[in-house]
């Protein structure tokens, strides 16, 4: 259960600077312990890599919390926080904060990036002033942390991302303080059905130039297990044609059109960018991340921008259009990784098991 905001701000947030100081003071000892542990742990220098990233995270969070406090005081103790220039300063802070973590994390854990620069330049055009309309970003969802990598990519292109997140993420002080000062929505556990869709429509409806609303139409991280479970659910509901269409896509979950259509309705002048990525599918939990260190993987990203004039107008046509794009994303993954992106043996093994859905 998420504690009240005043508890998070007075107890949880101050704890991070304290932990940072304790780690810095004890660093000579923890370095020796991590080095010794690394000789017993699998993977190359796993203990030292984890310690290095933990130190980076704590220092970055501490500095970000302090700067958020400075911004709060400078904005008249929060009275002017909603004004454009103060919003821009918060986005600038988030841009630097995430850039430090992403650059440091990719070096420590050995993650490479292969980005389709030509297509991303088209996505960047909104930030360069070539188009005044806001942007809707519909992305594949696969692998731990992909949402934050996408937010980082948007921020680096001078876009101002808006996103719908799980309320539990407010345990992290920088997310709690920083994102609660800009347009966003946290979905609390047990929220009524349709809460997220309504939030998407409201966030889309108030966007301006350089704003970008990020949506994951699949609704959850892809795993072969979840794919099969979603197909079974469609079959049980009598939606056999949709189940067959989902079955034909091996590397993505069938998109749920409700949130995407709500965004299109809320921002009738926005272009849409579809984002596909591959390389993190095997990281579905913190346990997978721990076992994989160093990751030694490459994250490949592909983006397509669709002008608003090419987007269908009716809900039925928009749903079919979204399904078509997801089949294209699925085909892109096959083109990039080959037919063995999700081997038949993996899918068949999951199909033979009576299992619960994989953790987020």
At 190 the pLDDT is 84
The 10s digit of each residue's pLDDT in 6-25 is 999 999 999 999 999 999 99
Percentage of the chain surpassing pLDDT 90? 70
Helix boundaries (H) for 41-83: 46-74
At 336 the pLDDT is 76
The beta-carbon contacts of 17-23 under 8 Å, at least 24 apart in sequence, are: 17/62, 17/65, 17/66, 19/58, 20/58, 20/59, 20/61, 20/62, 23/54, 23/55, 23/58
Flag whether pLDDT at 79 surpasses 70: yes
Contact assessment for residue 171 and residue 319, using Cβ atoms and an 8 Å cutoff: no
Q: Quick one: average pLDDT of 196-222?
A: 94
Q: Which of 130-139, 260-269, 290-299 has the highest mean pLDDT?
A: 260-269
- Stated length of the chain: 360
d(CA 98, CA 40): 32
The 10s digit of each residue's pLDDT in 341-352 is 554 544 454 444
d(CA 134, CA 126): 7
Q: Range with the lowest mean pLDDT among 47-61, 75-89, 284-298?
A: 284-298
The 10s digit of each residue's pLDDT in 113-163 is 877 744 444 444 444 444 557 999 999 999 888 899 999 999 998 899 999
Angle subtended by helix axes 46-74 and 84-109, to nearest 10: 170
Neighbour order of strands in the sheet with 297-306:
111-115, 297-306, 271-278, 135-139, 211-215, 160-166, 185-187
SS3 assignment, position 277: strand
HSE of 306, CA atoms in CB hemisphere, 13 A:
17
> What are the residues whose beta carbons fall under 8 Å from the beta carbon of 119, sequence distance 6 or more?
302, 303, 304, 305
d(CA 115, CA 106): 14
Cβ atoms within 10 Å of 3's Cβ, excluding its own: 12
pTM of the full structure:
0.89
H or E element at residue 136: strand 135-139
């Amino acid at each position: 259960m998420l504690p009240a905001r005043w508890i998070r701000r007075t107890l949880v947030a101050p704890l991070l600077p304290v932990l940072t100081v304790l780690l810095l003071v004890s660093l000579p000892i923890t370095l020796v312990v991590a080095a010794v542990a690394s000789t017993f742990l699998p993977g190359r220098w796993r203990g030292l890599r984890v310690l290095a990233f933990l130190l980076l995270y704590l220092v970055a969070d501490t500095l970000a919390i302090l700067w958020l406090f400075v911004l709060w005081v400078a904005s008249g103790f929060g009275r002017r926080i909603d004004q454009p220039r103060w919003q821009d300063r918060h986005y600038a802070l988030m841009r630097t904060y995430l850039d430090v973590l992403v650059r440091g994390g990719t070096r420590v854990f050995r993650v490479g990036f292969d980005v389709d620069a030509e297509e991303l330049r088209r996505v960047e055009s909104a930030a360069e002033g070539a188009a005044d309309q806001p942007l809707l970003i519909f992305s594949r969802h696969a692998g731990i942390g992909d949402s934050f990598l996408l937010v980082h990519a948007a921020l680096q292109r001078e876009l101002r991302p808006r996103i719908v997140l799980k309320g539990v993420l407010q345990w992290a002080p920088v997310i709690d303080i920083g994102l609660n000062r800009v347009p966003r929505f946290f979905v609390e556990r047990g929220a009524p059905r349709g809460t997220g869709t309504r939030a998407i429509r409201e966030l889309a409806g108030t966007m301006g130039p350089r704003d970008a609303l990020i949506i994951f139409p699949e609704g959850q991280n892809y795993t072969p297990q979840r794919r099969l479970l979603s197909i079974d659910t469609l079959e049980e509901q009598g939606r056999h044609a949709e189940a067959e269409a989902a079955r034909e896509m091996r590397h993505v979950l069938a998109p749920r059109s409700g949130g995407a259509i709500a965004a299109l309705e809320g921002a009738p002048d926005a272009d849409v960018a579809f984002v596909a990525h591959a390389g993190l599918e095997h990281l579905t939990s913190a346990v997978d991340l721990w076992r994989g260190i160093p990751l030694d993987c490459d994250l490949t990203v592909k983006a397509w921008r669709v002008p608003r004039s090419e987007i269908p107008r009716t809900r039925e046509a928009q749903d079919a259009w979204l399904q078509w794009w997801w089949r294209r994303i699925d085909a892109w993954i096959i083109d990039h990784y080959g037919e063995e992106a999700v081997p038949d043996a993996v899918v068949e093994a999951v199909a033979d098991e009576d299992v619960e859905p994989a953790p987020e």
